[in-house]
Amino acid sequence: MKLRYLSDLGKFVLWQKEVFRKPENWGMYYKELIRQMYDIGIGSLPIVLLIAVFLGAVTVVQFYYQMEGTLIPPYYIGYIVRDMMIIELAPMVTCLVLAGNVGSTMAAEIGGMRQKEHIDAMEIMGLNTSSYLIMPKLIAAAYVVPLLVCVAAIVGIIGGYLASVPADLFTQAEYVQGLRAFFIPFNVVMMLVKSVTFAIILVSVSCFQGYFVKGGSIELGAASTRAVVYSDILILLADYFIVVLLTQ
C-alpha cells in the first residue's frame, strides 16, 4: 500500500511537466478556460451561498449561547464571526464542498474520456491532452475559487446578522461595531492564499485520479471517491501548514 502511494506521488510529480507544457493553440485553450470558469463559478455558486449563510447563522447562535451571561461585550460576537468566516470557515468549508462537487465531476469527466478512448484519439491527433484537459481547469479554479470564498465570507457575515439582529440577540449597532473592531487586513491575504492553494489541490488531485483511471465503471466510481477523499485530506493538511507559516 505504501509503495502504491509513493508510485502515485512520483507519477503525479512527473506528470506536472506535461500539464504545464506550452499550449499548441492558445485560442482553443482560452475557450476551454472560459467554460471551466463558468462551470466552477456559476455552477457552484448556489451551494456555496446556501452553506455560507447557515455557517454564519450557526456561528452567531453558538457563540451567543457560550457567551450569554458573561462579562464579554455582545459586540465581540460580530468580531468573532467576521474573523472566523474570513480566516477559516469560508476558505475551508467552501473548498471542501467544491472538492465533493467540482472535484468528483472533473474526475468522472476525464475518467470517462479515458475509458471511451477520447483521450487516446486526441493524442493521436498530436494534442497534449494533459495540458489541454488540466491546465485550463487549474487556471480557472485559481481565479474563480477565491472569488467564491470572498462571496462565502460576505454571505456568512450576512447570515450571522440575519440570525441575531431580527431575533433580538443583540442590536444592529452592536453587530456592526463587532464587524468593525480589531480588523487585521492580513487576514484577508491569508484567506486568499488558502483559497488559491486549496483550489490547485482539489483540481490537481481530481484530474490526476480521472486521467489515469483504468478499468470500467466500478474503477471510475472508485477514482471519483478517491479524488474527493484525497483532496479533502490534503486541503486539511495544507490548511494547517499555511496557518503555521503565516501566523509565526
Summarised one tens digit per residue, pLDDT across range 137-157 is 999 999 999 999 999 999 999
**pLDDT beyond 90 at 183:** no
For residue 117, how far is the Cα from the chain centroid?
30
Q: What is the largest CA-CA distance in the chain?
A: 71
**pLDDT beyond 70 at 175:** yes
* Alpha-carbon separation of residue 23 from 105, 134, 144 (angstroms): 24, 11, 21
**pLDDT beyond 70 at 1:** no
Q: 3-state SS string over 180-243?
A: HCCCCCHHHHHHHHHHHHHHHHHHHHHHHHHHCCCCCHHHHHHHHHHHHHHHHHHHHHHHHHHH
Residue 51 is predicted with a pLDDT of 92
pLDDT tens digits along 28-68: 888 888 998 988 888 888 999 999 999 999 988 888 888 87
Contacts of 24 (CB under 8 A, 6+ apart): 126, 127, 128, 132
Residue 2 is predicted with a pLDDT of 60
Q: Which three cell numbers stand for residue 224?
A: 471519483
Q: 3-state SS string over 141-187?
A: HHHHHHHHHHHHHHHHHHHHHHHHCCCCCCCHHHHHHHHHCCCCCHH
The pTM (predicted TM-score) of the whole model is: 0.90
**DSSP line for 13-77:** HHHHHHHTSPPS-HHHHHHHHHHHHHHHHHHHHHHHHHHHHHHHHHHHHHHHHHHTTSSS-THHH
Separation between Cα atoms, residue 44 and residue 16, nearest integer Å: 26
The phi and psi torsions of 148 (rounded to 5 degrees) equal -60, -40
pLDDT band, very low/low/confident/very high, at 158 (cuts 50, 70, 90): very high
CB–CB of 105/207 below 8 Å? no
pLDDT tens digits along 94-112: 999 998 888 888 888 888 8
CB–CB of 82/178 below 8 Å? yes
Q: Which residues of 212-233 are buried (b: 16+ CB within 10 A; e: fewer)?
A: ebeeeeeebeebbebbbebbbe
Name the DSSP class of 102.
Answer: I
